[in-house]
Amino acid sequence: MNKHQIDADLVRRLAALLDETGLTELEYSTNSLRVRVAKNHGGAAVSVAVPPPAAPSAGAAARETTAPARGEHPGAVTSPMVGTAYCAPEPGAMPFVKVGDAVRPGQTLLIIEAMKVMNPVAAPRAGTVTEILVRDAQPVEYGEVLLIIE
- Minimum Å gap between C-beta 28 and another protein is 20
Asked whether the beta carbons of 25 and 39 are under 8 A apart, the reply is yes
Smallest separation, CB 114 to another protein (Å): 4
Closest distance to another protein from the beta carbon of 125 (Å): 21
Return the number of the residue (13 or 142) whose C-beta is nearest another protein.
142
Nearer to another protein, 65 or 107 (CB): 65
Q: Where are the beta strands (DSSP E) in 20-93?
A: 25-29, 34-40, 43-49, 76-78, 83-86
Q: Given its phi and psi angles, is residue 143 left (phi above 0), alpha (psi -120 to 50 degrees) or beta?
A: left
- DSSP per-residue codes, 42-55: TEEEEEEEPPPSSS
Nearer to another protein, 50 or 82 (CB): 82
For another protein, the binding residues (CB under 8 A) are 54-55, 57-59, 62-63, 81-84, 114-115, 139, 141-144
DSSP state of 114: E
Euclidean distance between CA atoms 35 and 28, whole angstroms: 5
- Shorter beta-carbon distance to another protein: residue 131 or 144: 144
* Least distance (Å) between residue 19 CB and another protein: 29
